Amino acid sequence: MIRRSLLSAALVLTTLAGATGCGALQGDDPAASAAHQPSGSEASKHAEEALPYDVKPLLHPAKDYFGVAVDGAPTSMKPVERFAKTVGKKPNVVGSYSSWGDAFNTEGARNVFDYGGLPYVSWEPFKPGLEKIADGSQDAYIKKFAASVREVDVPVAISFGHEMNGQWYPWGTKKETPEAFVKAWRHIHDVFQDAGALNVIWVWSPNIINPVPAVKLKPYWPGDAYVDWVGIVGYWTLTGAKTFDTLYGPTRRQVREFTDKPFLITETSSEPGERRRADVRQLIGGVKADKDVIGFVWFNIRKRADWRIQSSPLALAEFRRLIADDDFGFEVPRS
């Protein structure tokens, strides 16, 4: 991790060029901006105080991320600690869900970071609709959310409107268009940039295309300047794909037609049954073998099915054996 003190001198250049993070800032005239910059030691001190956590070294990790979503976290980390004890390894991504209108969970983000992990937030726009988000009428809320993210000053991964290519969410294909999704995404991203919330990893997370093959992903793509990771939501079910490639391959190949951003499996689990042990082997083995995939987040919650790994002793034993590999897990650097 590059220390902030070493980066402070670069802040002025970053502000003028708009190159920090994954998108370009739309600022004032550079000459006018430069005229207002303090000089000498005052400029260095101001830059060091203003610079948020630098997420760039986290985008292409040397080891794979191992994440979990579990009830009660991250407001409390006890469920994560219990999960870590169950599987024999400490996760370094903790997933959670936030509805549009909710405040940013500052306490939860600090909890995850203090634990050595990356907070991952699925931001769900159940209301008021993508057009209203894009037209600026929601800016007061977005700015407040962004300010909280900036002030907490830890790395935060955010996925807005996950599974947008399905019809099961109000921001999906049944009610919204790809154009509206892209406009809303870009607008939110730009508001965050303007607020200085550059400590965000932006994760674009479609569902696997297997159940919705007619819906093309490219029209939903906000652009390389607006996204850091491509997330994939895909579960192992009793009647679904049986291999890593058949589950995730079709989606990945389509995505590779328009971007080379890293893949993170942002939500997955295996349906309880005879195949569960094999599913675990396919998932963890597939992530380890494929350097284009930088990790996965296990959905360890009972919801319509018992997705918790501890509900299947044989699958749990296989999970413990495979996740012990040194390729998985690392503490997110403090600065």
Q: Give me the active site residues, please.
A: 163, 267
Residue among 181, 201, 213, 331 at smallest CA distance from 266: 201
* DSSP 3-state of 81: helix
Nearest residue to 283 via CA among 254, 312, 241, 239: 241
What letter does residue 70 receive in the DSSP assignment?
-
Closest by alpha carbon to 87, among 110, 114, 63, 68? 68
Paired tokens of 16: 């003028």
* Alpha helix stretches (DSSP H) within the chain: 4-7, 11-17, 30-35, 40-50, 78-87, 106-114, 130-134, 139-152, 178-194, 244-255, 276-289, 313-323
Q: Do residues 329 and 63 lie in contact, with contact meaning Cβ atoms separated by under 8 Å?
A: yes
**DSSP string covering 34-68:** HHTS--HHHHHHHHHHHPPP--GGGSS-SSBEEEE
What is the C-alpha to C-alpha distance for residues 191 and 145, in angstroms, rounded to an integer? 10
Estimate the share of the chain in helix, then strand, then coil, as percent rounded to the nearest 5.
Answer: 40, 15, 45
Whole-angstrom Cα Rg for the chain: 20
